[in-house]
Structure 1
Amino acid sequence: MCESYIFFCRLHVALFFGSVLASACPKSCLCSEKNGLVVVQCASRNLEKIPSDLPRDTVSLLLSSNHITKIPGQAFKNLPRLQELDLSRNSIETVEAGAFQGLSEGLRVLDLSNNLLRSVPKEAFARLQAKIRLSNNPWHCECTLQEVLRELQLDPETVNQVSCHTSIQEEYAGKPVIQVLDSGINFCNFHHKTTDVAMFVTMFGWFTMVIAYVIYYVRHNQEDARRHLEYLKSLPSTSQANKDFDVVSTVL
């Protein structure tokens, strides 16, 4: 009798928590719970954005193989216990600066591989201690990406798959970013040099315009002066006018 009572109590508790979990789970996903830890399975659900009604006790959020294009600011702010976040195989092009704000240092894995990322703001990964997978994205290698990678703990198994799809220095396109940086290349220095060259070209252009204007102004004034001088020459001189006046006086 006692054992039967305990069994029904456990069943009641299980059904109760199961109903609570089901009500908190996004309708496009499947949620499972064990020892108070919630796993949310949203992979391959044709999602276009990150669900907003996620259980607060979620420790694993699987969002791979969807159609998500953007990670907005504070998208995971209500998930303080999250340990694994899988966003691989989406179409993510934009990661906002505060995208992972609110995630604690308990996050262990962040997977952004196989997306459409070309660059990310360095503030996006602030305070994260997780191993991050950034492989198979069309990265543009320049100063910002270099500064981002300097602050991250890249997954060692995929680090060589983080390659320069394009680069401010074309000869590095197609090469692993870490390999390029380990060779001593500093994209930030090149960025400064490029800025200096651009500034020099701009200043030279303005200087050329000023010189051209001065030359035009001088030549235009010279032409006016020449015409004025020719006009003056065409006028009767004062001595000739006096002689003509004397002749007329003599005749009279």
Structure 2
Amino acid sequence: MTSSPVWRRADSVLVDAVCQRSEMGGGEIARCGGRRLTQVPVGLWNSTVRLFLDRNLLVSLPANSFCGLSLLEELDLSHNQLSSLEAGCFRGLESSLRLLDLSSNRLSSLELAALGGLRAHANLTLNPWHCDCRMQLSTPRLDLDSSSLSEVVCQTSDITNRGAAGIPLVLLLEDWDLCRSVRRTTDVVVLVTMLLWFSTVVFYMLFYVRQNRKEARRVVVPIFTLRDPRTETHSL
């Protein structure tokens, strides 16, 4: 029971040694960039609203990496070596985080489990993205920086041998459904073709019925009256 406060003080000293702390209205700024950190510092101040971890050596973000930072609004993780974001790595930031910078890393996939309920204005540029169904489902959860969408490029894709490599993700998603690996425009063309074919069949049937009715009106059907010979003899 008595060791916990000591452990926390030790962590706090470590954070003070690697991060610069400054105050701003309503919270604090933690600048931990360029310190060659291989993991997120433990014991960050709970009142932190802006956290800069750029230009470090972070390779992955484990679950609960930012636990306790319920006031955090801006998180800069750019220019690291991040290649994986584990499930729950942003847990606790769902309601507060507004800006997330993941640019210039080694990320190839974006998992829904990693994002959780996170909805932030995000910068995903300069990563070797593999564009697949996971990316299609994950990116709508984030408010991607519109000024940099052209730089969120698919280095590889599930759409093989079709020229998808090197295409910005936003353009690829306009033409392709990556969860089905089919071209959206093809679906539209097929649908329009089917509608035209169906309309042609209906038109032909209506024309055929109308023509038959006209032919039926032109045919004169002779009416034969059958006479009873006994009636004719009696009348004479």
- TMscore range, shorter length: 0.5 to 0.7
Corresponding residue for 2:4? none
Corresponding residue for 1:176? 168
SS at match of 2:106: coil
Gaps of 5+ in 1: 1-21, 192-252
Structure 1 position 24, deviation (Å): 8.2
Corresponding residue for 2:179? 188
In structure 2, what is the Cα distance between the partners aligned to 1:49 and 1:125? 19
Give percent identity, aligned residues only: 37
Structure 1 position 36, deviation (Å): 4.7
Larger Rg belongs to: 1
Retained in 1: the 8 A contact 2:81–2:105? yes
Normalising by structure 1, what TM-score?
0.64
Normalising by structure 2, what TM-score?
0.68
Retained in 2: the 8 A contact 1:95–1:120? yes
Matches within 5 A, 1:49-198: 49-170=39-160, 171-183=163-175, 185-190=176-181
Retained in 1: the 8 A contact 2:119–2:141? no
In structure 2, what is the Cα distance between the partners aligned to 1:135 and 1:146? 16
Number of residue pairs matched by the alignment: 169
Gaps of 5+ in 2: 1-11, 183-236
What CA RMSD, in Å, does the superposition of the two structures yield over aligned residues? 1.7
In structure 1, what is the Cα distance between the partners aligned to 2:109 and 2:95? 23
Corresponding residue for 2:34? 44
Matches within 5 A, 1:198-237: none
Retained in 2: the 8 A contact 1:81–1:104? no
In structure 2, what is the Cα distance between the partners aligned to 1:164 and 1:104? 27
SS at match of 2:75: strand
Structure 1 position 130, deviation (Å): 1.3
- Cα 1:36–1:186 change in 2 (3 A) is closer
